[in-house]
């Protein structure tokens, strides 16, 4: 039975970006259970958009003032193949079509369809919650539906400022709260065994949560790249740093999938869209706790000092209850 309870989306402490405009958030949902066109039609009908084919495995939904939505198979090779015209009737052409069809057939078992929204103003996140309900009703299945479903929900909150200090504050807060976020997210085994949501190295965490660590922007980026030149982090900072200093990032990594944008890229949560009470609110409200801690520098400095002490005690790291300490002493204050 579908839950009728309405879940509130928490407001972050910063509502506007550096230009004084309402902050925006991009949301990405991975799922199975319907065909690409069924998902595209569901999203288009809900939002009143037009569907345009960008290839055999991609649909662009046009007409939203915030920008285009994309519904696509999350498989870069197939998307590239799907943009190419089908060949003629020669043996080689037919062999190529057969290979592509076989790849597409195999992909259906493990590759999700991804619904990617444009950057939406904060006051439109409630629409995403309602869209999730509609997708669920249409038959969408998420991470825990099958063992092989390593599906995620990702979102990209626009930064309130592109200056070094608030970025550092958010990174410090995330590192302090990572264990709590991970416990709350209850990550499915299908994603735990991948590298998609790797934690930050302990030595890097120690460096950043030191209460004296407030670097300038080049140092912040260099320090991050020295230990985290990968997209496989629960909080992927590479899109932001690519936006701020592409040349600096490209000296370390040539990963073509890094897309420059003035946002955090939070990729920890599962997408359990088939569950009646699952929604954006679960991960979003936990993310807001990161921003609230970051915005309260006195509380942040105290939490960082406590976490650094925790990290400096190997036995406490193994047997201690940092999550409990956070909930008792540093969250919701």
Per the structure, the complete domain to which residue 224 belongs is given by 161-265+276-333
Statement to judge: residues 188 and 91 lie in one domain: no
Q: Which of 140, 173, 193 is the last residue of a domain?
A: 140
Calculate the average pLDDT of the chain.
87
Helical axes 164-185 vs 217-228, angle rounded to 10°: 30
b/e map 270-282, b = 16+ CB within 10 Å: bbbbbbeebbbbb
**Sorting pLDDT into bands at 50, 70 and 90, what band is 102?**
low
- Is 14 a domain residue? no
Statement to judge: residues 286 and 226 lie in one domain: yes
For residues 119 and 211, give the distance between their C-alpha atoms in angstroms, rounded to a whole number: 33
- Triad 89, 90, 92: Cα angle to 5°: 125
The tally of domains found in the chain comes to 2
> How is residue 154 written in tokens?
């990702």
Single pTM value for the model: 0.88
Statement to judge: residues 136 and 166 lie in one domain: no
271 touches 151 (CB < 8 A): yes
For residues 217 and 252, give the distance between their C-alpha atoms in angstroms, rounded to a whole number: 16
> 286 by DSSP, 3-state: which?
helix
> Per DSSP, what are the bridge partners of residue 265?
236
Q: What is the DSSP letter of 292?
A: H
**pLDDT tens-digit readout, 41-64:** 999 999 999 999 987 889 999 999
**Sorting pLDDT into bands at 50, 70 and 90, what band is 143?**
confident
Statement to judge: residues 183 and 318 lie in one domain: yes
Phi and psi at 221, nearest 5°, equal -70, -45
Res. 70: pLDDT tops 80: yes
């Amino acid at each position: 039975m579908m839950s009728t309870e309405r879940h509130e989306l928490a407001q972050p402490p910063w509502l506007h970006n550096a230009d004084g405009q309402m902050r925006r958030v991009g949301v990405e949902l991975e799922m199975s259970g319907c065909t690409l066109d069924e998902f595209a039609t569901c999203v288009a009908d809900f939002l009143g958009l037009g569907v345009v084919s960008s290839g055999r495995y991609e649909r662009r939904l046009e007409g939203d003032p915030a920008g285009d939505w994309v519904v696509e198979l999350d498989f870069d090779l197939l998307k590239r193949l799907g943009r190419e015209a089908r060949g003629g009737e020669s043996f080689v052409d037919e062999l190529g079509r057969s290979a592509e069809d076989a790849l597409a057939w195999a992909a259906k078992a493990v590759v999700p369809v991804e619904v990617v929204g444009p950057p939406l103003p904060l006051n439109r996140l409630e629409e995403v919650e309602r869209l999730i309900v509609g997708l669920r009703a249409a038959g969408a299945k998420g991470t825990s539906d099958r063992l092989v479903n390593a599906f995620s929900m990702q979102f990209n909150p626009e930064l309130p400022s592109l200056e070094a200090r608030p970025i550092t504050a958010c990174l410090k807060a995330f590192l302090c709260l990572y264990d709590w976020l991970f416990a709350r997210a209850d990550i499915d085994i299908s994603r735990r065994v991948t590298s998609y949501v790797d934690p930050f190295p302990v030595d890097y965490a120690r460096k950043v949560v030191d209460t004296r660590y407030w670097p300038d922007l080049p140092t912040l980026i260099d320090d991050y790249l020295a230990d985290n030149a990968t997209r496989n982090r629960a909080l992927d900072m590479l899109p932001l740093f690519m936006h701020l200093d592409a040349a600096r990032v490209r000296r370390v990594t040539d990963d073509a999938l890094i897309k420059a944008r003035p946002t955090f890229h939070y990729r920890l949560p599962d997408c359990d869209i088939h569950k009646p009470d699952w929604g954006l609110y679960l991960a979003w409200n936990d993310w807001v706790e990161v921003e609230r801690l970051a915005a309260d520098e006195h509380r942040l400095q105290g939490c960082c000092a406590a976490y650094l002490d925790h990290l400096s005690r190997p036995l406490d790291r193994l047997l201690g209850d940092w999550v409990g300490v956070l909930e008792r002493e540093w969250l919701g204050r």
